[in-house]
């Protein structure tokens, strides 16, 4: 931003005289002359050639005025950009994610957001669950989508919907006869409408059943380890891949049960070949959330808030299967 001295000098340049500039600036001629002298002392060279009428610029003065004009252009662009952001007519938002579910959720949210704010650019970064908090903290992204618990960080958590951990097994899998009374339908699972008596609290019922599971750096791995413990993890592992779709297809091919969530299954059409099992534990519940920084600047905050609003509108009724399919 220009200081008053620079503004005064520029007005003298425009008016070509001290007296005319003083009238426009509503200050006395001596005060204006003093400001010019101060600027020249700081510059170490004269700005105006006072031997000509009207005033002309010295070579040093020309460089000084050109610099002022560049600053004025930058200031004008800044004000235009701020106005554009405040009216949502310009700006951008950078979204970070690492979950398979986000690949379905984000396009739906972006579609709604672009309908309302077509002049805001959207940049999407795919990373890892471990790296996402770092990207957010370093402000390389404006917000992230995750199911991980990040409330201990200095972040704002905006829950979108509740997820529940589900175990899905192929119907003809060997050795699951004792689990059949606990099986729930796809509709009960998606709508969370099953009775508490159907949810399984004793994880030993799954002893001897192999699992297709998520990789160690994922939130699902941590959840599964919580329910089954370290010893059963080494006993049950049959595959270690980060692709939900591949894991689901491996389960359908009979390689083992799949430990996943109801929201992940919502993007998968119901199958008569599958049995679904709920888990009776508070730890089986988690929030799929948007997370952003507390300290985002006001311009970014406005765009982030509008994006979060669009996301919450989309998931307000909780009908995930209808949204994702």
Q: What is the pLDDT of residues 184-203, one digit of tens each?
A: 999 999 999 999 999 999 99
Q: What is the pLDDT of residues 200-229, one digit of tens each?
A: 999 999 988 888 877 776 777 778 888 877
**Which residue would you say has higher pLDDT here, 86 or 160?**
160
pLDDT at 5: 87
Report whether pLDDT(151) > 80: no
Q: 274: which 2 tokens?
A: 């599958």
Least confident of 8-17, 182-191, 314-323: 314-323
- Cis before 54 (ω within 30): yes
Would the pLDDT of 2 be above 90? Answer: no
The pLDDT assigned to 282 comes to: 92
pLDDT beyond 80 at 83: no
pLDDT for 221 equals 76
pTM: 0.67
Residue 246: predicted pLDDT: 86
Instruction: Number of helices (H) and strands (E) in the chain: give both, helices first.
Output: 12, 11
Which residue bears the tokens 């099986």?
183
Q: What token pair was written down for 27?
A: 């200050």
Q: Which domains does the chain have, with CATH numbers?
A: 4-86 (1.10.10.10), 97-160+291-324 (3.40.190.10), 163-285 (3.40.190.10)
């Amino acid at each position: 931003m220009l200081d008053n001295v620079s503004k005064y000098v520029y007005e003298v340049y425009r008016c070509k005289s001290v007296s005319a500039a003083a009238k426009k600036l509503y200050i006395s001629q001596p005060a204006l002359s003093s400001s010019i002298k101060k600027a020249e002392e700081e510059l170490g060279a004269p700005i105006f050639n006072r031997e000509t009428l009207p005033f002309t610029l010295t070579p040093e003065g020309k460089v000084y005025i050109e610099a002022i004009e560049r600053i004025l252009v930058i200031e004008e662009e800044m004000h235009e950009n701020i106005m554009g952001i405040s009216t949502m007519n310009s700006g951008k938002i950078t979204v970070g994610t690492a979950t398979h579910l986000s690949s379905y959720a984000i396009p739906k949210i972006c579609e709604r957001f672009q309908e309302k704010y077509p002049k805001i650019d959207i940049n999407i970064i795919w990373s890892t669950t471990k790296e996402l908090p770092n990207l957010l903290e370093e402000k390389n992204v404006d917000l992230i989508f995750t199911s991980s618990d990040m409330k201990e960080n200095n972040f704002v958590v905006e829950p979108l919907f509740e997820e529940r951990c589900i175990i899905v097994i192929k119907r003809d899998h060997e050795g699951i006869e004792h689990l059949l009374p606990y099986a729930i339908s796809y509709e009960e699972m998606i709508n969370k409408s099953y009775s508490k008596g159907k949810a399984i609290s004793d994880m030993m019922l799954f002893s001897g059943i192999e699992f297709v599971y998520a990789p160690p750096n994922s939130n699902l791995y941590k959840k599964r380890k919580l329910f089954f413990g370290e010893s059963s993890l080494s006993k049950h592992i049959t595959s270690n891949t980060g692709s939900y779709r591949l894991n689901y297809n491996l389960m359908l091919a009979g390689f083992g049960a799949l430990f996943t969530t109801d929201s992940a299954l919502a993007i998968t059409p119901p199958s008569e070949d599958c049995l679904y099992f709920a888990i009776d534990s508070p730890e089986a519940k988690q929030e799929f959330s948007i997370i952003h920084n507390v300290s985002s600047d006001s311009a970014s905050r406005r765009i982030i808030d509008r994006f979060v609003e669009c996301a919450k509108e989309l998931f307000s009724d909780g009908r995930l299967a209808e949204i994702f399919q």
